[in-house]
Amino acid sequence: MASRPPVHRARKRFGQNFLRDPGIISRIVRAIGPRPGDRLVEIGPGQGALTEPLIEAAGGELEVIELDRDLIPGLRVQFFDHPGFVVHEGDALKFDFRALRGEGEPLRVVGNLPYNISTPLIGHLLEAGNAIADMHFMLQKEVVERLAAGPGGPDWGRLSVMAQYRCRVDALFVVPPEAFVPRPKVDSAIVRLTPHAELPYPATDETLLFKVVRQAFGQRRKTLRNNLKGCIDADALVALGIEPSRRPQTLTIEEFVRIANHLAAAEVMS
């Protein structure tokens, strides 16, 4: 049985909001579905509210990444009777998830992510490619809505394209502020990201693809003709079957890839 962690005051600079609601914790663990033998990695375990049921479900094997060094001694005391519990002190934004996987099974990454780093951290994790089997995160509700959005809606943007190019995204359920201490000022939500075994629409040059997406969404109210000026002209868009007067939020991932692959081919031939 895990020991009770020492009292720790949440730090605003780390964006800490500690999950306390047992019902929500159980629901999250059920959604993750950890099993013995999984390579589970928890980002930001905090005071171990989610860590305890995860490590029990996973047969005592769990690795965690924690930036707040004041929390680490408490975690080690709390889970001292689990030899398979490993703490990595450091910043998840700089962590090498490919190296952590090594030659083993792909990682299953979970975490209650601080709102202030959630978007760049997801970008960093997506770059880890086949090192990751799936990800389950608690995020600000509006970030989950953007991740899971579809083309044509107000939430469809750079983050949606970046995530869905590489992953299937499932928005699971909303978590109210009262589930945390201290209470955040916004609703949270649980999201599942499952990397595609094979990309549905592979880009010849992914760096170029995301450059096109970034430029296209630079000014959402403007048309592709204006936003992609200097990148691709209107005649080329028409030749690709894409109307230049459309706005970026109406394009599908396949259409963004079509533009990027055209530019990659043109560059090779020039």
CATH number of the domain that 70 lies in? 3.40.50.150
Residue 3 domain flag = no
Among the candidates 170, 195, 220, a domain finishes at 195
For residues 52 and 134, state if they share a domain: yes
Q: Which among 176, 178, 180 has a CA at the least distance from the CA of 189? A: 176
What one-letter code names the amino acid at 236? A
Domain count, the chain: 2
For residues 213 and 160, state if they share a domain: no
CB 162, CB 209: distance < 8 Å: no
Residue 99 domain flag = yes
For residues 241 and 130, state if they share a domain: no
Confirm or deny that 91 is annotated as ligand binding. Answer: yes
The label of the residue with tokens 């909001």 reads 17
For residues 93 and 167, state if they share a domain: yes
Q: What is the pLDDT of residue 45?
A: 93
- Cα–Cα distances (Å) from 58 to 98, 108, 132, 220, in that order, read 21, 11, 17, 44
Confirm or deny that 19 is annotated as ligand binding. Answer: yes
Cis preceding-peptide flag for 45 (omega within 30 of 0): no
Residue 27 domain flag = yes
For residues 191 and 219, state if they share a domain: no
- Work out whether strand 132-140 and strand 107-112 pair parallel, antiparallel, or are unpaired: parallel
Task: Among 7-11, 70-74, 86-90, name the one with the lowest average pLDDT.
Answer: 7-11
* DSSP structure string for 104-151: SPPEEEEEE--TTTHHHHHHHHHTTGGGEEEEEEEEEHHHHHHHH--T
CB burial class (10 A; 0-12, 13-18, 19+) of residue 33?
Answer: exposed
Confirm or deny that 17 is annotated as ligand binding. Answer: yes
**DSSP state for residue 155 in the 8-state scheme:** T
For residues 26 and 85, state if they share a domain: yes
Q: What is the pLDDT of residue 115?
A: 81
Q: What is the model's pTM?
A: 0.89
For residues 158 and 246, state if they share a domain: no
Residue 16 domain flag = yes
For residues 187 and 228, state if they share a domain: no
For residues 51 and 98, state if they share a domain: yes
Kindly state the average pLDDT of the residues 71-93.
94
Among the candidates 158, 174, 195, a domain finishes at 195
Q: What is the pLDDT of residue 20?
A: 87
Confidence of residue 46 (pLDDT cuts 50, 70, 90): confident
Residue 226 domain flag = yes
CA atoms of 199 and 260, how far apart (whole Å):
15
Q: What is the pLDDT of residue 17?
A: 76
Q: What is the pLDDT of residue 12?
A: 43
For residues 37 and 88, state if they share a domain: yes
- Cα–Cα distances (Å) from 122 to 19, 135, 185, in that order, read 20, 9, 22
Phi/psi zone of residue 102: left (φ > 0), alpha (ψ -120 to 50 degrees), beta? left
Confidence of residue 53 (pLDDT cuts 50, 70, 90): very high
Residue 156 domain flag = yes
Domain that residue 225 falls in: 206-269
**Residue 78, Cβ neighbours under 10 Å: how many?**
21
Confirm or deny that 44 is annotated as ligand binding. Answer: yes
Q: Which two tokens stand for residue 169?
A: 């995204």
- CATH number, domain at 237? 1.10.8.100
Task: Among 2-6, 31-35, 97-101, 164-168, name the one with the lowest average pLDDT.
Answer: 2-6
Q: What is the pLDDT of residue 16?
A: 57
For residues 39 and 142, state if they share a domain: yes
pLDDT tens-digit map of 169-188: 999 999 999 999 888 889 99
Residue 97 domain flag = yes
Q: What is the pLDDT of residue 7?
A: 47
Phi, then psi, of 190 in degrees rounded to 5: -100, 135
Residue 4 domain flag = no
For residues 57 and 38, state if they share a domain: yes
Among the candidates 130, 164, 195, a domain finishes at 195
CA atoms of 91 and 113, how far apart (whole Å):
12
